[in-house]
Amino acid sequence: MVKVIIAVIAYIILAPIVGGFLAGLDRKITARMQGRVGPPVLQPFYDVLKLLEKESITVNRVQDFYVMCFFIFVIVTGCFFFAGENLLLVMFTLTLASVFLIVAAFSSNSPYAEVGAERELLQMLAYEPMVLITCVGFYMFTGSFEVGQIMLSTKMPFPYLIGIFLGFIFILTIKFRKSPFDLSMSHHAHQELVAGLKTEFSGKTLAMLEAAHWYENVFLLGMVFLFFVNGTWWGYVIGIVDVLLTYFLEILIDNSFARMKWQVAINSSWIVAVVLGTVNLFMLMFVR
Amino acid sequence: MSYITKSPWVIHYDGSSCNGCDIEVLACLMPMYDVERFGIINTGNPKHADVFLVTGSVNEQNKNVVKQIYEQMPEPKVVVAIGICACNGGIFKECYNILGGVDTVIPVDAYVPGCAARPEAIIDAVVTGLGILEQKRQALANGELLKEPEPEAAVAAPEEAAEEGKEEA
């Protein structure tokens, strides 16, 4: 019980620090890939602290409440995960958080935010099947949905779940809002949709959204880590190295792809889920 | 400790510019000058922006657009007029539809002369603007009102209404 409380408190305190640092590293590496010097690694922290200094402009009363709910439920998701709770519960809490963000965008009645929110719904439609297949894969391999039980596994899940791992990496591009599928917030292509989903958020609300993304990214990288645990210390080392490699791969994908249409996002991620995900699940039935 | 000078996000609006200054603004973002070194990002969204870069003079058609972008930006904010057209109308000054520089519509904090303005001059103006931005932030933190005084028509309106009320009485 004490271990669980320590894990949860460590997540709440350390996740924004690690997440912000990773975001800074992302911007630095991206700049180097584009032949630029790039901002300081601590730039994301400066950005968020600046946003806290700005005037708050909100279009209606409920918008901030919904963004606050998004922020809280993302943290709750991570807390469940790092407390070793049920993987399905974790994923459904994350979905609930995303729904709050979408409702916040819809509540503003801004055309750009609405188009962004619609695209976010389509993105959820794209990544949800693969997320569920990942949970089922862990269940079939270890016989439990509990993250705590999966962590005790003496065999590394990665060789047996390699198809599911690749599929999960694929949808991570959507979850990290990276280039081929950066549809709803259009981080790079703001000429097209202003800022999409986050167009109407400013000041403290936007700062909260950024911090929530740091929490979310750390949790998602925790999911990647789960593929490499085998109960030994070198399993943890391999896990952390692979998490960093995965993050680098996502940055590389971000910089080497143009943005695609939402049809491509849905079709490709469902094809990946069906081919890599379900084939892996069938294989697992025979291997185990 | 203020973070506003460490992460100024800009929004760029092209009034009736010939695109010369616009290209120079974009050149600042490219690898040669790379203003992201200083945390400067081109946002394209007035609600996220701290610095408003305007190129080209203001005309009858875009004066409301310039005003609207300015009003949508959260305080504290600064405006930088880039190029001689944005400063006072430039070669278009005598045209029938041109109002003049950007300062005919919104308050401007820094001016960049030149045709076209050099990227070095633009970066220098933005850095100067950051000093003003910091002053404005402190003023805002001290509770001083930053908003521009209302236009005369709007101020006069309640008085007129009051006079009408007296007449009726």
Nearest to A190 among B2, B37, B45 (CB): B45
- CA A105 to CA A184: how far, in whole Å? 11
Nearest to A36 among B2, B6, B36 (CB): B36
Arithmetic mean of pLDDT, A84-103: 91
pLDDT at A69 over 80: yes
- Is the bond preceding B31 in cis, omega lying within 30 degrees of 0? no
Residue of A nearest to B74 (CA): A55
Whether B137 and A202 lie within 8 Å, measured CB to CB: no
Q: Give pLDDT, residue B148.
A: 53
- State whether residue B67 sits within 8 Å of chain A by CB: no
- State whether residue A1 sits within 8 Å of chain B by CB: no
Joined tokens for residue B8: 């100024």
- CA A48 to CA A58: how far, in whole Å? 17
Give me the interface pTM, i.e. the ipTM: 0.78
* Integer Rg of chain A from CA: 19
Whether B31 and A199 lie within 8 Å, measured CB to CB: no
Q: Which residue's structure tokens are 């730039």?
A: A43
Chain A hits for B146, Cβ within 8 Å: none
Joined tokens for residue B46: 């007035």
As a three-state string, the secondary structure of A215-254 is HHHHHHHHHHHHCCCCCCHHHHHHHHHHHHHHHHHHHHHH
Q: Give pLDDT, residue A201.
A: 86
- State whether residue B68 sits within 8 Å of chain A by CB: no
pLDDT at A50 over 50: yes
Give CA separation, A284 vs A91, A157, A158, A167, B124, in Å. 22, 11, 12, 15, 62
pLDDT, tens only, B91-122:
888 888 888 888 888 999 889 988 888 899 99
- State whether residue B150 sits within 8 Å of chain A by CB: no
Burial A50-72 (b: 16+ CB within 10 A, else e): bbebbeebbbeeebbebbbbbbe
Arithmetic mean of pLDDT, A224-245: 87
Nearest to B4 among A31, A37, A50 (CB): A50
Under CATH, what is the fold of the domain B9-168?
A: Rossmann fold (3.40.50)
* Domain ranges, residue A25: 2-287
**DSSP label at residue A57:** -
Joined tokens for residue A105: 């965008």
Give CA separation, B58 vs A223, B69, B89, B99, B152, in Å. 53, 13, 8, 6, 21
Q: What is the pTM of this model?
A: 0.86
The distance of B111 to chain A (nearest Cα, Å) reads 24
Residue of B nearest to A39 (CA): B37
pLDDT at B165 over 50: no
Chain A hits for B2, Cβ within 8 Å: 53
pLDDT at A248 over 90: yes
- State whether residue B140 sits within 8 Å of chain A by CB: yes
The distance of B69 to chain A (nearest Cα, Å) reads 13
Chain B hits for A36, Cβ within 8 Å: 31, 34, 36-37
CA B52 from chain center: how many Å? Answer: 4
- Is the bond preceding B116 in cis, omega lying within 30 degrees of 0? yes
The distance of A236 to chain B (nearest Cα, Å) reads 35
Q: Which residue's structure tokens are 């974009």?
A: B26
Task: Count, in order, helices (H) and strands (E) of chain B.
Answer: 5, 7
Whether B7 and A43 lie within 8 Å, measured CB to CB: yes
- CA B23 to CA B32: how far, in whole Å? 13
What DSSP line would sit under B52-99, residue for residue? EEEES-EETTTHHHHHHHHHHSPSS-EEEEESHHHHH-GGGTTSTTEE
The distance of B55 to chain A (nearest Cα, Å) reads 17
Arithmetic mean of pLDDT, A197-201: 84
In A23-82, the residues whose Cβ lies within 8 Å of chain B are 27, 31, 34-40, 43, 46-47, 49-50, 53-57
- CA A227 to CA A243: how far, in whole Å? 10
pLDDT at A190 over 80: no
Nearest to A39 among B37, B50, B140 (CB): B37
Q: Give pLDDT, residue A215.
A: 93
Across A20-24, A110-114, A159-163, B12-16, the highest mean pLDDT is recorded for: A20-24
Whether B74 and A47 lie within 8 Å, measured CB to CB: no
Query: How many folded domains does chain A comprise?
Result: 1
- State whether residue B2 sits within 8 Å of chain A by CB: yes
- Chain A interface disruption, residue of B26, B33, B45, B50, most A CBs within 10 A: B45
Count of other CB atoms within 10 angstroms of residue B145: 9
- CA A73 to CA A82: how far, in whole Å? 14
- A198 within 8 A of A206, measured Cβ to Cβ: yes
- CA A180 to CA A256: how far, in whole Å? 9
Orientation of helix A111-142 relative to helix A87-107, angle to 10°: 180
Whether A202 and B76 lie within 8 Å, measured CB to CB: no
Arithmetic mean of pLDDT, A204-226: 91
Q: What is the mean pLDDT of chain B?
A: 81
- CA A23 to CA A66: how far, in whole Å? 24
Chain A hits for B33, Cβ within 8 Å: none
- Count how many Cα atoms sit within 13 Å of the Cα of residue A70 in the half-sphere of its side chain: 26
Arithmetic mean of pLDDT, A238-248: 91
Q: What is the mean pLDDT of chain A?
A: 88
Whether B76 and A49 lie within 8 Å, measured CB to CB: no
Cα angle A195-A199-A204, degrees, rounded to a multiple of 5: 120
Side chain identity at B97, as an amino acid letter? N
Find the helix or strand (DSSP H, E) in which A29 lies. helix A2-33
Orientation of helix B119-141 relative to helix B20-29, angle to 10°: 70
Chain B hits for A187, Cβ within 8 Å: none
Joined tokens for residue A75: 């943290």
